[in-house]
Amino acid sequence: MCGIVGYVGQRPVQEILLAGLEKLEYRGYDSAGVSVLADGEIASVRAVGNLSKLRAAVLHANNGASPDAAAHGGTAVAVAELPVTSGIGHTRWATHGRVTESNAHPHFDTTDRVHVVVNGIVENYLFLKRRLADIGADFTSETDAEVIAHLVSHHMARGSLVEAVRAAYAELEGHYAFVCMSADEPGTLVGARKECPLIVGRGDGEQFVGSAIPAFLAHTRDVQVIENEEIVVLTARGVEFIAPDGTPIERAITRVDWDQSTAEKGGYETFMLKEIHEQADAVAETIADRTTRPDGVDLAEAELDESLLQGVDRILILAAGTSFHAGLIGRYAIEEWARIPVDMDIASEWRYRNPIVTDRELVIGITQSGETADTLAAMRLARERGARVLACTNVVGSQATRDADGVLYIRAGMEISVAATKTFVCQVAAMYLLALRLAELRGTMDRAQRTALVAEVKQLPTRITELTEGLDAPIKAAAERHADADFYLYLGRHVGRAVALEGALKLKEISYIATDAYAGGEMKHGPIALLDESTPVVCVATDMPILDKMISNIQEVRARGAHVIAIATEGDDRLEPVAEEVIYVPRTDWMLQALLAVIPLQLFAYYVARKRGLNVDQPRNLAKTVTVE
């Protein structure tokens, strides 16, 4: 996720902003920038790459020549020599638009009087962009975020910065947090929050704002949380919280006793747990502006020309590890909804079997890092042999994006823990979107069906939150009961098999316990020999057309005396009689249930590993990306 920092006070601002951004580096970024108010003008510096590049650019600007200011017609300001005491900064993890200086934040309006830093996503930015361009706004980036600078500027014609932010907020749809400043109101920062986090740090005659506490922890431990759907106004004297309708809100100051490392983890004990809890936000970003139409999904964007999806009569999905499991769910969704036959293979197998592909085939390479050697090699081979290739990845500018004809970004933000969690659910969400789009293009689903499914997809973030908030404690208790087992079997059928495979991978990867995962119907053909009273068997038994068959498999497991932990759909009372433990996930469309069903399994693996005292963020023998042949 991107990082925001803002400061207003008496001290020189540049170093505070740069040091604050450095404390947010752990969140991952590909470009960064700062804007400061000096002598009635806003000076802005942005740079692609790491923060040392930004520091160098700032130094250059301080010597009197801001390349960025010059580029957008602003004034180059030698800010080091001026009493510059308010400003905003940002680290960007690209989602909309490439990694370029003009796409880096802060973004600014046509007059260069309003600057803004934004996290998250503005769903209706295309609509707003067209409207603002029609009345003269000059857009200089490919981002959704820039629209906020123009919108606030537009509303400032009729009011103060805070009134303009309130008016803009009323028009913005999405999932975002932003902070803006205006050259016409020096010494004031105004922020707004809709879902994405934003937090205030209180000082003596100075105030801070950031997307996370590490941004200002070196200066203050007194914080005020900006709640969802609130606007905040910061001046050196103090901070005011208001509702979008202008009603003032009282907000207590709380003191945090976190150290830097706890603050980076947002108060969670590990990055993995933090990332499991970030899944609702991550999925919201993945689906946001792609589901603004009630009866369908729109995927066309700069790096995905939808003609790539037309005329496809066969699909092949290639991936490794967790990404392969996301692809398996994608396979079921595409076949079910779009009625296109989908083959799947492990990239490291497919590339060595002299594979056959045709130009009527779409090959989808799923790789969150965009750098896994086997997946990249398989994608390149598919292209050489005539197939069109779509990359599904989290990293803008990664090798996979260069080896593909189109890119479907998953927008999960940086994942620090080695075990993939939020990138997995975002890959699955992206597969659902693709399947729905293909269904519409091929006419295999009528409008009513599409409308119902899009509505369910939009509910996924809420349901994920219900799960991560509601199930954390009970799953911890269940995991601790079983943490001594030395072997686990995971079973599932149809889409539940993909979930079982992912649950088993997660447990073995972070707890070093032997696991196996099987299609429920295959169990009697061998693996059943492994079962006895000591074996926990995790059975994915959420709502699906062949749930009855899965229940029969569970009965076979029970006949061997093994202990069944079932993942079932809320309201389904068929599992209680056949399983010792049942964990319920919220009811939704049965295909979408797969995304929800994996979350208890992530938490389960996590708490088993923690009970065993293991470092889940860095499991042994694993690296986040595999680039070595």
Note the residues at the interface with ligand F6R (CB under 6 A): 320-323, 367-369, 372, 375, 419-420, 509, 625-626
Look up residue 335 and give its DSSP letter.
Answer: I
State both tokens at 539.
């059975």
Q: How far is the CB of 627 from ligand F6R (least distance, A)?
A: 10
Q: How far is the CB of 98 from ligand F6R (least distance, A)?
A: 20
Q: Is the dihedral of CA 530, 534, 540, 543 positive or negative?
A: positive
Distance CA 533, CA 560 (A): 7
* CA geometry: angle 537, 543, 547, nearest 5 deg: 65
Burial of 485 (0-12, 13-18, 19+ CB in 10 A): middle
What is the DSSP code (8-state) at residue 45?
A: E
Q: CA 149 from chain center: how many Å?
A: 23
Residue 624: active-site member: yes
Taking the least distance from each CB to ligand F6R, the nearer of 103 and 369 is: 369
Active-site residue, from 2, 180, 196, 426? 2
- Please check whether residue 235 is in contact with residue 187, taking contact to mean a CB–CB distance below 8 angstroms: yes
Closest approach of Cβ 325 to ligand F6R, in Å? Answer: 8
The one-character DSSP state at 304 is: B
Is the backbone peptide bond immediately before 67 cis, with ω within 30 degrees of 0?
Answer: no
Closer of 195 and 509 to ligand F6R (Cβ): 509
Token output for 195 = 């879902």
Strand partners, 116: 107, 180
Which CB atom, from 56 or from 622, has the smaller least distance to ligand F6R? Answer: 622
- Ramachandran angles phi, psi of 395, nearest 5°: -115, 110
Distances in Å between the Cα of 136 and the Cα atoms of 15, 74, 109, 157 are 35, 18, 11, 14
Q: In the bound complex, what is the minimum distance in angstroms from residue 34's beta carbon to ligand F6R?
A: 31
Nearer Cβ to ligand F6R (206/374): 374
Query: Pairing mode, if any, of strands 41-48 and 107-108?
Result: unpaired
> Which element (helix H / strand E) includes 222?
strand 222-225
Distance between CA atoms of residues 432 and 410, nearest Å: 11
CB distance 57 to 34 below 8 Å: no
Looking at the Cβ atoms of 114 and 412, the one nearer to ligand F6R is 412
Residue tagged 């470009």 (tokens): 31
Between 54 and 381, name the residue whose CB sits nearer to ligand F6R: 381
Q: In what order do the strands lie in the sheet with 230-235?
A: 107-108, 114-122, 174-182, 189-194, 230-235, 238-242, 248-249
What is the rounded end-to-end Cα distance, in angstroms, of the chain? 30
263 or 429: whose CB is closer to ligand F6R? 429
The continuous run of DSSP H or E covering 180 comes out as strand 174-182
Residue 115, classified by CB atoms within 10 Å of its CB into exposed (0-12), middle (13-18) or buried (19+), is buried
Cβ atoms of 141 and 103 closer than 8 Å: yes
Shortest distance, position 68 Cβ to ligand F6R, whole Å: 32
Give the residue with the Cβ less far from ligand F6R, 119 or 322: 322
| Edge-to-edge strand list for the sheet holding 86-92 | 41-48, 31-38, 86-92, 3-8, 207-210, 199-202, 222-225, 254-255
Q: How many residues does the chain have?
A: 629
Q: Cα separation of 310 and 300, whole Å?
A: 12
Comparison of 148 and 426: residue with beta carbon closer to ligand F6R: 426
To the nearest whole angstrom, how small is the minimum distance from the Cβ of residue 392 to ligand F6R?
9
What's the chain's Rg over C-alpha atoms?
A: 25
In the residue annotation, 2 being an active-site residue is answered as yes
For residues 343 and 392, the answer to whether their CB atoms sit within 8 Å is no
Tracing tokens 């205030």 back to the chain, one arrives at 200
Phi-psi bin for 270: left (phi > 0), alpha (psi -120 to 50), beta?
beta
Q: Which is nearer to ligand F6R, 121 or 420 (CB)?
A: 420
Cα separation, 604 vs 610, in Å, equals: 10
| Amino acid at the residue 83 | P
DSSP letter string, 247-283: -EE----EE----HHHHHTTT-SSHHHHHHHTHHHHH
Catalytic residue among 53, 458, 476, 624, which? 624
Catalytic residue IDs: 2, 624
